[in-house]
Structure 1
């Protein structure tokens, strides 16, 4: 059977660490916890599960800390985990089965990372990450923020998911401060780092700077295709926030230079046209979203609701606004197939029952 070293980097995680470690303890053959400067009870909690606890002097570089944790591993595969991650029961069973049957020639196992959830616990934001990495392949993390490993060798995809469940908000300024610090030090950003720096600028409402950096990233012509598409999408968000709807729509459309339309982009286009009261155009783009093929293995950030529920409920709203209540009801029922317990669908259902009854 495959053996696994679970490797974590932590700092002041007393609120969530016990949850993470208890969810992985029956799977891990070895648990490595690298502490980057905790001042709470993080280390004491970790000691309940492992004696392999190491100190690492924080240097504004997540990759260095991750690589240090991997350097302490001794088992067949390294598995990284964040303190606010948790493995749910059904995924724990799947991971145990994977561990039992994993072929020794596999270099990387990609697993789902669910980071957003609706009230029923259904993932609303998901993507694949490199999660199990064969130790003898000597994988190295890269990127001081939003660190990642470039998969190589034999790669397989698993439906096992890691659920990212935050309890408290981390320092929202941390990543931007790290980027700023690196710039002051004279660091030359890779295209991927330019992309993530631009995203941090957007999240901090520095839209003009974000626009400059997203365009800088695209002009390198060295970006990964999904990041290129995402950059166009974020440029649309920036111009939308600045009140320039024409440029917002233009950049969303520009994303289609790189590949077929993504449902997430089409839903954004539908939203913008709806706000401009161009309902036929909104319907068009929401319909395109419904026709898009969802590919979770592309590496893109996937919003599952953009492939069924959101376009259905929004087309319903468009047709209702246009006075076509029968068609609106049809799309509301499609939305209900995706989310039968959703309050908006149920409220619409009652509304259309009354509306169509009165029409008779």
Structure 2
């Protein structure tokens, strides 16, 4: 059996600072690189061509899925890998990707997506999730939605068990697009909100409860928490009305908003209902622990944070903030032990947090403060 082929498909605009690193991360093993340029005014297209990519000009129509699907029409390979210019794939190393593609029965394969959120790339300051990026070509899979486009998996594999369709690949994909310097430079809030509001005004919006979630996320990123809370709750209601269980990340966003507004009483006891829906979601347990800590229920909080540590930072279907199952949980354990007057246990917890994440400075500061007290 011949080796399966792979087409890289991208859409870009004014990405001259990032596109070379993106293409370089995959160029040695993909069979073709298709770059759909939606109107770059810089050297993006020239850089892509110099690296062997086919660059296709496309007139931007405010619809990300349309642009991506234009690239898919030109892809000849057995498999599609889709990336953005602000992403880089980890090196394959000894991993035999083509063997996996040849042997898998799945039609869609997910990677470990690392969404950086800080000032500089740091895996400890990032959200982690398994995200579908490889899919079989020529079976009808394509993108839908004008923004936050997604594959039409449910439409193609209607009523089929997703365990037969989805698989994973142990490779990391690093995404810089929501680091603060880039979001400011590209004014992503204004761009995204314009497209989301356009999408919300279309007839198709009635069948897409994700729109309200994405609007909530945009408001959350610019600290407009009242509007974020309104829209995340609307998204939850719309999922329920459509007969679907609201995805776990909606509850994560809801309780993150409540924390940022100081609404601890509003978060309790509702967090218990969210955990009942997603008992394996470590971030929700972490939020419960923080609620217990803020309410002064230190012994209960310790039990919750220990549970988080036992669960660990697992990357899967849930959107995980790195550290909720490790260094963040240890740090809050330290805070609880301090409140209970056990500085020795607090020091041990802070040491563990700092050991797990040396860039986690608040744990280091707490550790130094307590050691000075103890000496």
Residues 25-174 of structure 1 aligned to structure 2 (within 5 Å)? 25-50=27-52, 52-88=54-90, 91-93=91-93, 97-103=96-102, 105-116=105-116, 121-123=122-124, 124-151=126-153, 154-166=165-177, 168-169=182-183, 170-171=186-187, 172-174=189-191
Q: Cα distance, 1:120 vs. partner?
A: 8.5
Q: Bigger shift: 172-181 or 253-262?
A: 253-262
Q: Which runs of 5+ in 2 are unaligned?
A: 158-163
2:282 aligns with: 263
- 1:303-344 Cα offsets, whole Å, 9 max, x none, are 231101111111112212332112212323432452367545
1:319 aligns with 2:319: no
- Check conservation: 1:286, 1:314, Cα contact below 8 A: yes
Are the structure 2 counterparts of residues 70 and 257 from structure 1 closer, same or farther at C-alpha, using a change threshold of 3 Å? same
Secondary structure, aligned partner of 2:279: coil
1:261 Cα deviation after fit: 5.4
Q: Distance in 1 between matches of 2:278 and 2:359?
A: 34
Residue equivalent to 2:267: 248
Whole-angstrom CA distance in 1 between matches of 2:111 and 2:372: 46
CA distance in 2, matches of 1:351, 1:181: 52
Alpha-carbon distance, 1:17 to partner: 0.9
Kept after mapping to 2: 8 A contact 1:236/1:249:
no
**Shift of the alpha carbon at 1:39?**
1.3
Give the 3 Å change call, closer, same or farther, for CA 87–293 of structure 1 in structure 2: closer
- Would you say 1:202 and 2:216 are equivalent positions? no
Q: Residue 160 of structure 2 corresponds to which residue in structure 1? A: none
Classify 1:204/1:75 alpha carbon distance in 2 versus 1 (closer, same or farther; 3 Å): same
* Alignment match, 2:197: 180
Aligned counterparts of 2:280 and 2:53: Cα–Cα separation in 1: 50
Q: Give the 3 Å change call, closer, same or farther, for CA 303–253 of structure 1 in structure 2.
A: same
Q: For 1:292-331, what aligned pairs fall within 5 Å after superposition? A: 292=311, 295-297=314-316, 299-331=317-349
Match status 1:229 vs 2:248: yes
Is contact 2:200–2:211 with CA below 8 Å preserved after alignment? no
The CA RMSD over aligned residues, in Å, is: 2.9
In the other structure, the counterpart of 2:161 is: none
1:260-310 CA-to-partner distances (Å, cap 9, x unmatched) read 15221222233344445553444343233223365423x211223110111
Consecutive unaligned residues in structure 1, runs of 5 or more: none
Task: Render the CA deviation track for 1:68-92: whole Å, top value 9, x for unaligned.
Answer: 111110011111010011123xx33
SS of the residue corresponding to residue 111 of structure 1 reads strand
How far apart, CA to CA, are the structure 1 residues paired with 2:35 and 2:75?
11
Distance in structure 2 (CA, Å) of the matches to 1:57 and 1:208? 37
Instruction: Tell me if the contact between 1:238 and 1:248 (Cα under 8 Å) persists in the aligned partners.
Output: no
